[in-house]
Amino acid sequence: MSTQPCILVVDDDIELCGNICEIIEKGGYKVESVHNGKEAIALSQKNKYDIILVDIELPDITGNKVVREISKTSSSTEFIYITGNATVDSAVEAVKNKQVISYETKPIDIDRFLILLGQITKRKKTEKALKQSEHRFKRYFDLGLIGMATTSLDKNWIEFNDTLCNMFGYLREDFAKLTWTELTHPEDLEFDIAQFNRVLTGEIEGYSIEKRFIHKNGSILYAVISANVLRKADGAVDHFIALVHDITKHKKMEKALMQSEKLKSIGTITAGISHEFNNILAIISGNVQLLKEDYEDHRELTEALCTIKRAVDDGAQISSQMLKFTKTETDAGGLVSSDIRDLIMQSIDFTLPRWRNEAQANGIDYQIDKDGMKSLSAIMCNPSELREVFINIIGNALDAMPEGGRLSFSTWSDDDTVFVGVSDTGEGMSEEVKKYIFDPFFTTKSPVGTGLGMSMAYGIITRHRGKIEVDSEVGNGTTFTLQFPATNEKESLIATPDTEQEINEKNLRILVVDDEESIRNILNQFLSRAGHKVKTVDNGADAIKIIKGEDFDLVLCDLVMSNVSGYDVVKVLNGLKKRPKVGIITGWNKELEPVSGNELKVDFFLKKPFEHSEMAKQIKIAFSMDDKKL
């Protein structure tokens, strides 16, 4: 049915028929006309009409017969008789047919007729909406797509579906003994009653609100409830109809997302704090190192300075750990001596948002067992690469336990070999999967996975002169066993002592760019003592002006500075015809922009606080690359 009823006028008076159609069209209705009964019957079989105005006296058949024939195929069509020869018999005949809703005599009272059409239109819209609502309600109720119920004014059940019972965790017989009030969370009860009373007083016809209920197990059930009323003929409320949509999972995921965004914001703030903290530590560390050089024969003072230096190193470690959840850059350098247990713990912490936060939001329980992790000898490794291996194994284990389970870690040693075991209680693997598990592009997660995870893990472990083995059985979980050669080479990896810090080449022209005055002064003293000519500047803009007018062998530049950053300075340096060596010194621990290509080429990075010996080493390496004799 269109927005307005579609009307057919049946009258053999062509002029009158045209006038009626014109009036009806001006009222915004769709209208057609015919001039005999047989045409009307034929047309009604092709088109659907909501209202038919029919003359009782037609040239071929009577209007009564037209009504009877059309009514057989269109039960929703209503008729209005129009006649210029009204008789008692014709009136009685009209009354007999329930689909005849009015009896109008010619000449037609146009104003009354338009009012009548308006009333019919309103009624038909209401009836259509009610039928659609009833049909939709019955369909949803029967299918159980959402929780549905009807209740009396005292909030007792009249009818409810199984979906609603299951939503709250009750059997039908137990649910029938409860009321909305008993199921509603106490803190939401007052508001719920207020809404209910607004409906009873006629202030509103219904409402849709988010509210909390109490599940049978005592947990909070979040739901959106849409309540409406059905009224009696006198307008009084008969009963309530309620639709209940469970949004508990959505609320948990929303909470988890908010927590994730909160951590991300904290990470951004922490990065800034860490940068400032590292600058402070760099000032302390730099002065301590200078004082140690000046008073190396003063034993008591030297010991005190060593204590301060250890505290600085501890502070730098704390600063680094502050951002381990957001740290994504690959560790530079070669193999270092590491405790395998620390790497496992870091990997577990890194995946925490998934196995704890996200899992809990979905009602999944993962247990992480670390009791089997024993103290071991150190191993030589690239920490970043081994964390990648453990994170990959943890991720695969979680995928294998979609309903939750236990993930266990153990470490042990045998002679000069360190072993790591990672076991899950998941789905396990078939012999075919185990056969190809370390092959590139093999995956059981298609089309989502890339199939590179375990092949990359295999490659990383092989490069570490280690081995990885898998033991699994369908339905009985999976265990990965990793082994690495142990080492006692810790001392070989410790930074070169201060005796190595001397830069042999004298008279290097060095520009130091840093917005911290104390750091500029420390570097000036250290480099000047080594026999170099040092110039300092406190901002990037002035640095750019200076390097365009003077030649330098080396520029040491801070990265994070206001207005003109270290990146901007490096771009200008790399555009010079005679490019100096470039070293970045920064207290920024967060992920840095990629430093690649000609524009952002640098010779070395130093994270504050750093050892003067390390700076000397990096400068020596940078100039030795050009075969300069140092």
C-alpha separations of 502 from 262, 415, 505 in Å = 47, 41, 9
pLDDT (mean) for 225-236: 78
Residue type at position 30: K
Are 46 and 115 in a shared domain? yes
Note down the domain range covering 541: 496-624
Question: Percentage of the chain surpassing pLDDT 70?
Answer: 78
Identify the helix (H) or strand (E) that includes residue 481: strand 478-485
CA separation for the pair 492, 138 (Å, rounded):
79
Q: Among candidates 553, 560, 563, which has minimal Cα distance to 628?
A: 553
Are 524 and 614 in a shared domain? yes
Comparison of pLDDT for 139 and 571, the residue scoring more: 571
Comparison of pLDDT for 275 and 299, the residue scoring more: 299
Are 337 and 237 in a shared domain? no
**Structural domain count, the chain:** 4
Among 386-400, 431-445, 526-540, 588-602, the range scoring the smallest mean pLDDT is 588-602
Are 513 and 449 in a shared domain? no
Identify the pLDDT of residue 496: 36
Confidence class for position 221, pLDDT limits 50, 70, 90: very high
Kindly provide the b/e burial profile for residues 616-627, where b requires at least 16 CB atoms within 10 angstroms of the residue's own CB.
bbbbbebbeeee
Q: Which two tokens stand for residue 605?
A: 């990075």
Confidence class for position 468, pLDDT limits 50, 70, 90: confident
Q: Looking at 246, 271, 305, which one is the last position of a domain?
A: 246
Identify the helix (H) or strand (E) that includes residue 186: helix 186-200
Q: Which residues contact 513 (CB under 8 A, 6 or more apart)?
A: 536, 537, 538, 539, 540, 543, 555, 556, 557, 558, 561, 566, 569
Comparison of pLDDT for 118 and 327, the residue scoring more: 118
Q: Assess whether the previous peptide bond of 497 is cis (omega < 30° from 0).
A: no
Residue 219: pLDDT over 80: yes
> Is 506 a member of any domain?
yes
Confidence class for position 133, pLDDT limits 50, 70, 90: low
Are 102 and 172 in a shared domain? no
288, with CB counted inside 10 A (0-12, 13-18, 19+), is buried
Identify the pLDDT of residue 330: 38
CATH code (residue 203): 3.30.450.20
Alpha helices in 445-554 (DSSP H): 453-463, 490-493, 517-529, 540-549
Are 103 and 154 in a shared domain? no
Could you give the 3-state DSSP secondary structure of residue 59? coil
For 489-613, list the strands marked E by DSSP: 509-513, 533-537, 554-558, 581-586, 604-607
């760019």: which residue's tokens?
Answer: 513
Please name every residue paired with 410 in a beta bridge, in sequence order, or none if there are none.
372, 421
Q: Which residues contact 572 (CB under 8 A, 6 or more apart)?
A: 544, 547, 548
CA separation for the pair 455, 461 (Å, rounded):
10
pLDDT (mean) for 157-174: 90
Are 349 and 478 in a shared domain? yes
Confidence class for position 497, pLDDT limits 50, 70, 90: very low
CA separation for the pair 446, 328 (Å, rounded):
26
CATH code (residue 16): 3.40.50.2300
Confidence class for position 597, pLDDT limits 50, 70, 90: very low
Residue 285: pLDDT over 90: no
> Is 252 a member of any domain?
no
Comparison of pLDDT for 212 and 87, the residue scoring more: 212
Q: Which residues contact 225 (CB under 8 A, 6 or more apart)?
A: 208, 209, 210, 211, 242, 243, 244, 245
> Is 148 a member of any domain?
yes
Task: State pLDDT tens for residues 550-581.
Answer: 989 999 998 888 788 888 898 888 888 888 99
> Is 266 a member of any domain?
no
Alpha helices in 9-62 (DSSP H): 14-26, 37-46
Q: At what angle do helices 63-73 and 37-46 cross, to 10 degrees?
A: 10
Confidence class for position 363, pLDDT limits 50, 70, 90: confident
Tell me if 532 sits within 8 A of 502, measured CB to CB.
Answer: no
Identify the pLDDT of residue 272: 67
Residue 442: pLDDT over 50: no
Among 170-184, 247-261, 401-415, 588-602, the range scoring the smallest mean pLDDT is 588-602
Are 457 and 510 in a shared domain? no
> Is 251 a member of any domain?
no
Residue type at position 412: W
């948990």: which residue's tokens?
Answer: 252
- For the entire predicted model, the pTM comes to 0.37
Q: Looking at 76, 101, 128, which one is the last position of a domain?
A: 128
479, with CB counted inside 10 A (0-12, 13-18, 19+), is middle
Identify the pLDDT of residue 530: 85
Residue 239: pLDDT over 60: yes
Most confident of 79-93, 289-303, 441-455: 289-303
Identify the pLDDT of residue 423: 94
Residue 231 phi, psi dihedral angles, 5° rounding: -105, 155
Identify the pLDDT of residue 247: 87
Q: Determine if residue 226 is left, alpha or beta; phi over 0 gives left, psi from -120 to 50 gives alpha, anything else beta.
A: beta
CA separation for the pair 515, 524 (Å, rounded):
14
Q: Which two tokens stand for residue 152?
A: 């009396």
Residue 340: pLDDT over 70: yes
Is the Cα torsion angle 38, 80, 26, 31 positive or negative in sign? negative
CA separation for the pair 338, 380 (Å, rounded):
6
Q: Looking at 201, 231, 246, which one is the last position of a domain?
A: 246
Average pLDDT of the chain? 79
Taking residue 461's Cβ as centre, other Cβ atoms within 10 Å add up to 20
Residue 271: pLDDT over 70: no
> Is 480 a member of any domain?
yes
Alpha helices in 326-417 (DSSP H): 340-350, 352, 359-361, 383-399
CATH code (residue 337): 3.30.565.10
Identify the pLDDT of residue 204: 81
Are 62 and 105 in a shared domain? yes
Could you give the 3-state DSSP secondary structure of residue 351? coil
> Is 151 a member of any domain?
yes
Are 522 and 489 in a shared domain? no
Are 340 and 202 in a shared domain? no
> Is 386 a member of any domain?
yes
Are 506 and 479 in a shared domain? no
